[in-house]
Chain A
Amino acid sequence: MSPQSLIAAALAVPLAGAVLIALAGRWPNLREGVTLVTAGSLMFCVWSLLPEVFAGGRPALVVGEMMPGFAIAFTVEPLGMLFAALASLLWIVNSVYSIGYMRGNRESRQTRFYACFAIALAATMGVAFAGNLLTLFLCYEVLTVSTYPLVAHKGDAATVRSARVYLGILIGASIGLFLPAILWTYTVAGTLDFVPGGILEGHIAGPAVGFLLALFVFGIAKSAVMPVHRWLPAAMVAPTPVSALLHAVAVVKAGVFTLTKVVLYVFGIDFLDAQPSAEWLAPLAAFTILAASAVALAQTNLKRMLAYSTISQLSYIVMAAAVLKPLSEVGASIHMVSHAFGKITLFFAAGAIYVASKKTELHQLHGIGRRMPWTMAAFTIGALSMIGVPPTAGFVSKWYILGGSLQAGNLVAVFTIIGSTVLNAAYFLPIVYRAWWRTEESPPAREHGEAPWPMVVALTGTALLTLAFFLYNQPVIDLESQLVGRVK
């Protein structure tokens, strides 16, 4: 297949999958089969694009014109390629896990769940491959809307309230801030295309640059920079597979991805580096990292703690992008991958614990490692990756971000990384300790062992990916180095 048809397929396959899932709703086995086949075909399509992009190609596809001068266009560049490859890979693992979780938990309305999931993945692919800001915005909004039913899945009053916070913040920020930022960009630059090196240089100057950047940063609320982070803990009412793939990988990474892309292709790092009015972003991200870690320390609910950990880890990426040095930009893109592997493992483990034992609080986890050794082993690996201990993925990306920060001489960033590493250790290690070395305070209401096998397979798989990425990451680094090579 030509690269153009591969891009089209990457967008169309999950959408077609959603329709087929809706039609197959009455036969659960067939429906789940459709999900797996769709996920497999999507990964095939996306990964088939890799060789071309490695070779320096930038395949593009113009779907049509929304209005004269505003095309719906897709271009595959290294950052988007990485994001799409990552999301499509993890969707397969997550689908296996979902089957175990949704059936093990006897959830209702599973057809809607799988169908919305597929639409969300299509939107993710659209965000990853978008060739201009307008297309990106379109897919970004589809992603928000399609995940709303997933967050509100349970349908009781508390869940609906949380879902309202989720939708309110994401849509409100995107229409109230992101869209005006896009309009402003268009009126000054006359184009919305992503161009290596940026489109704004020479069109805007002075404090306006910092203000425009602020509209982008807070408008792209999916990247959860404080104070627009509240939707992420609210989203934790969703079933765990949603939290795992969407609120640790697809949705939140769509946020930081969009932000990184805006920094690289709309502002351009050299232009932004020369603007004193834009210097606030790295300190703000640093504050978010530390504050979210501190809040995570105070959480008693496992999923909420993971959510705050995600907020802090996302701001690593934002800070790395905002440091504006080649090494840190590479670090930002690698951290998307390493955090994804680690965090999805942690969420998988949290969901497995819930399905097997119905436990959700941290203090309930004494001695659970003996009952669920596979799950907790994977959890431990994920936790180490969050802290950034070798031999896990988290070490690799932190290495690059630290390198970039030193390159820039940005001491705030350096000390933030050190400080947050300590905090991360402070909230993850006690859980690991309790799970393995403490004994259960009282026997559980119901004897249990591991969660259903599809879940265990999935979380073991992602834990192995976390380890493997430490040993074998050269292709990713090569790919992302193209990014700065071209930008420079």
Chain B
Amino acid sequence: MNLEPHLPALQVVVPLLTAPLVVLLRDARLAWWAALAASAMNFAVAVAITGQVLDGAVVRYDMGGWAAPLGIELRVDALSTILLLVVSGASTLALLGGRASLLEQVGEARQPLFMAAWLLALAGLVGILVSGDAFNIFVFMEISSLATYILVAGGPDRRALPATFKYLVAGTVGATFYLIGVGMVFMMTGTLNIADMELRLATVGDTNIVYVAAGFITIGLALKAAIFPLHAWMPNAYTWAPHVVTAFIAACATKVALYVLLRMDFFVFQKNLVDHELQFAFVLMPLAAMGILFGSIAAVFEPNLKRILAFSSLAQIGYILLGASLVTVAGFNASVLHLFNHALAKGALFLAVVCLGLRYRHLDLADLQGAGRHMPWTLTAFALAGLSLIGVPGTAGFVSKWALIIAALERGALGVALVVLIVVSSLLAVVYVARIVERLWFGEPPGENPAVSEAPWPTLAVTWLAVGANFWFGLNASLPGELAQRAGEAFLRHLP
């Protein structure tokens, strides 16, 4: 049987079907192996799809042979591909490096169930990305969200529970808003297929109900994507989740929501709604700018390592939104590039946190002082990934910031102001990264001096792999660059 035409379906089917199998396995070791195998296979399929997309194809798949717009269509273009790589790659790396940490934080008995939830989250996230149908996106969004709540609540720290509750409320409101919006559009157009929606909206584009629908969809997704000021659920969810889960969801959960936001706003509404770009100029761009500043400043003053990184994520989401809200091809390119590059940097940083978490119970900077003396490899990896977060040249973070600045400069005086903003926030990133590195390297260990050793080598090796990827894609950005360019070309076709 030739599997090649079925690749998009396999992306979802493999983790979705492995999940119940994992529950049946009952053995922590086997469950981990099965989850890892499913995740790795997903990554392999994503790589195969990348090959097809790079050949210039938009990979389409009709579920059950029913043609769109009646049937359910899976549709993978360059924009979805780059995130498929991120999601399946982050899941695989986090599982590969996280075995020891998962055993410690989740425990052996609950491991199979936990792995099943992990796979469902993966299936949901991937499903959102391959889906060409607005309602299916909602379904997969719910699958991934429900599974992610379980993952976040799965840690040993009880503070995870209120964090999860907050996340759950915010996530449900977000998803419901999205569903209301999609329902209204369906009411006006009679279709749920995204490509079809765009065509049919042309005749009803300036009715109030479509504007209201667009508002619901954008706000709902902004809530899920933790766009400032709708980010309140995010820092605590990241902080109290098991470390391995943070490494996984920090690299992808909010980014997938951002993906849906870009997909709906640019590929459905942009062409049809009169003055739609005002939404970007007057709402999303100021919010992005405020998010960048607020996130960076909050990160400078936070005492907890994971919260610092969470607030830094808030700022980075701001960058991604900022690029898109320029509503130019260059800005969209930069946005897509930053989706990829920020996932690399943050993923590597949180993997280093996994290493630290194996040796330290509390991750306040005060508890971690002097950790560098005991764990030099971990801390070196953290420092190098931190460079990518700052955007030092030679790292992935630099490539997308550079692209973002070049895109902003196309906008004249406004662009210069945005460049100042980006530079200031990069300098703040220098401050918060240097603050962590300095205290962890040179600080005096608190009170009793525990005999801490370096993290186990599998975790460390995976962390270094992620760090290496930051440098590889910083010096040779042709793969994400190519995908971002293709995504930009597609974007161009949807401009009015």
Residues of A within 8 A of B (CB): 63-68, 70, 72, 134, 137-138, 141-142, 145, 152, 155, 160, 163-164, 167-168, 171-172, 175-176, 179-180, 183, 186-187
Query: Could you pull out 20 A-B pairs where Cβ atoms are within 8 angstroms?
Result: A64-B476, A65-B476, A66-B399, A66-B476, A67-B403, A67-B477, A70-B402, A72-B475, A138-B393, A141-B392, A145-B387, A160-B438, A163-B438, A168-B430, A168-B434, A175-B390, A175-B426, A183-B405, A183-B419, A186-B406
Task: For A142, list chain B residues within 8 Å (CB).
Answer: 394
In angstroms, Cα B434 to Cα A145, docked, is 11
Partner of B430, one of A63, A70, A175, A180: A175
Known interface pairs A65-B476, A160-B438, A164-B438. Does A179 touch B392 (Cβ–Cβ under 8 Å)? Answer: no
Min CB gap B387→A, angstroms: 7
- Given A68-B485, A141-B393, 4 more contacts at CB 8 Å? A137-B393, A138-B393, A179-B423, A187-B409
In angstroms, Cα B430 to Cα A68, docked, is 27
Q: Is B474 an interface residue (CB 8 A)?
A: yes
In angstroms, Cα B406 to Cα A70, docked, is 12
In angstroms, Cα B394 to Cα A67, docked, is 11
Known interface pairs A167-B434, A187-B406. Does A180 touch B423 (Cβ–Cβ under 8 Å)? Answer: yes
In angstroms, Cα B438 to Cα A180, docked, is 27
Known interface pairs A66-B399, A183-B419. Does A155 touch B442 (Cβ–Cβ under 8 Å)? Answer: yes
**Which residue, A66, A145, A168, has most C-beta atoms of chain B within 10 A?**
A66
Are A67 and B481 closer than 8 Å at their CB atoms? yes
In angstroms, Cα B423 to Cα A138, docked, is 17
Min CB gap B402→A, angstroms: 7
Are B423 and A141 closer than 8 Å at their CB atoms? no
Are B442 and A152 closer than 8 Å at their CB atoms? yes
In angstroms, Cα B434 to Cα A163, docked, is 11
Task: For B477, list chain A residues within 8 Å (CB).
Answer: 65-67
Contact with A along B399-411 (1 / 0, CB 8 A): 1001101100100
In angstroms, Cα B393 to Cα A171, docked, is 12
- The 10 residue pairs across chains A and B that have the minimum distance between CB atoms: A138-B393, A160-B442, A138-B394, A141-B392, A64-B476, A155-B442, A187-B409, A67-B477, A171-B430, A137-B393
Write the chain B residue with the least CB distance to A135: B393
In angstroms, Cα B474 to Cα A180, docked, is 19
Task: For B402, list chain A residues within 8 Å (CB).
Answer: 67, 70, 183
Min CB gap B315→A, angstroms: 15
Write the chain A residue with the least CB distance to B437: A148
Q: Is B208 an interface residue (CB 8 A)?
A: no
In angstroms, Cα B475 to Cα A63, docked, is 9
Min CB gap B472→A, angstroms: 10
Task: For B409, list chain A residues within 8 Å (CB).
Answer: 183, 187
Q: Is B478 an interface residue (CB 8 A)?
A: yes
Min CB gap A428→B, angstroms: 35
Task: For A67, list chain B residues within 8 Å (CB).
Answer: 399, 402-403, 477, 481
Min CB gap A177→B, angstroms: 9
Task: For A164, list chain B residues within 8 Å (CB).
Answer: 434, 438
B interface, over-half SS: helix
Known interface pairs A175-B430, A183-B419. Does A68 touch B406 (Cβ–Cβ under 8 Å)? Answer: no
Are B427 and A176 closer than 8 Å at their CB atoms? yes
Are A176 and B423 closer than 8 Å at their CB atoms? yes
Write the chain B residue with the least CB distance to A187: B409
Write the chain B residue with the least CB distance to A160: B442
Write the chain A residue with the least CB distance to B394: A138
Write the chain B residue with the least CB distance to A186: B406
Are B427 and A172 closer than 8 Å at their CB atoms? yes
Task: For B474, list chain A residues within 8 Å (CB).
Answer: 66
- B361-398 with Cβ < 8 A to chain A: 387, 390-394
Task: For B406, list chain A residues within 8 Å (CB).
Answer: 183, 186-187
Are B394 and A180 closer than 8 Å at their CB atoms? no
In angstroms, Cα B419 to Cα A176, docked, is 10
In angstroms, Cα B390 to Cα A424, docked, is 41
Task: For A179, list chain B residues within 8 Å (CB).
Answer: 423
Partner of B392, one of A63, A70, A145, A152: A145
Write the chain B residue with the least CB distance to A159: B442
Task: For B478, list chain A residues within 8 Å (CB).
Answer: 65, 68
Min CB gap A349→B, angstroms: 30
Task: For B434, list chain A residues within 8 Å (CB).
Answer: 164, 167-168
Write the chain A residue with the least CB distance to B443: A160
Task: For B403, list chain A residues within 8 Å (CB).
Answer: 67
Min CB gap A321→B, angstroms: 24
Task: For B387, list chain A residues within 8 Å (CB).
Answer: 145
Task: For B391, list chain A residues within 8 Å (CB).
Answer: 175
Min CB gap A3→B, angstroms: 22
Write the chain B residue with the least CB distance to A136: B393
**Which residue, B394, B405, B485, has most C-beta atoms of chain A within 10 A?**
B394
Write the chain B residue with the least CB distance to A68: B481
In angstroms, Cα B390 to Cα A171, docked, is 11
Min CB gap A142→B, angstroms: 7
In angstroms, Cα B411 to Cα A187, docked, is 12
In angstroms, Cα B479 to Cα A65, docked, is 11
Min CB gap A114→B, angstroms: 15
In angstroms, Cα B376 to Cα A155, docked, is 14
Write the chain A residue with the least CB distance to B480: A67
Are B475 and A64 closer than 8 Å at their CB atoms? yes
Are B399 and A141 closer than 8 Å at their CB atoms? no
Contact with A along B455-489 (1 / 0, CB 8 A): 00000000000000000001111100100010000
Write the chain A residue with the least CB distance to B435: A164
Task: For A172, list chain B residues within 8 Å (CB).
Answer: 427, 430
Task: For A64, list chain B residues within 8 Å (CB).
Answer: 475-476
In angstroms, Cα B393 to Cα A72, docked, is 11
Write the chain B residue with the least CB distance to A167: B434
Task: For A163, list chain B residues within 8 Å (CB).
Answer: 438
Min CB gap B383→A, angstroms: 8
Write the chain A residue with the least CB distance to B426: A175
Write the chain A residue with the least CB distance to B444: A157
**Which residue, A63, A141, A175, A176, has most C-beta atoms of chain B within 10 A?**
A175
Min CB gap B247→A, angstroms: 24
Min CB gap B275→A, angstroms: 29
In angstroms, Cα B438 to Cα A163, docked, is 10
Task: For A134, list chain B residues within 8 Å (CB).
Answer: 393
Task: For B476, list chain A residues within 8 Å (CB).
Answer: 64-66
Write the chain B residue with the least CB distance to A171: B430
In angstroms, Cα B391 to Cα A134, docked, is 13
Min CB gap A274→B, angstroms: 26
Min CB gap B135→A, angstroms: 38
Contact with A along B96-123 (1 / 0, CB 8 A): 0000000000000000000000000000
Write the chain A residue with the least CB distance to B387: A145
In angstroms, Cα B481 to Cα A164, docked, is 35
Are A141 and B394 closer than 8 Å at their CB atoms? yes
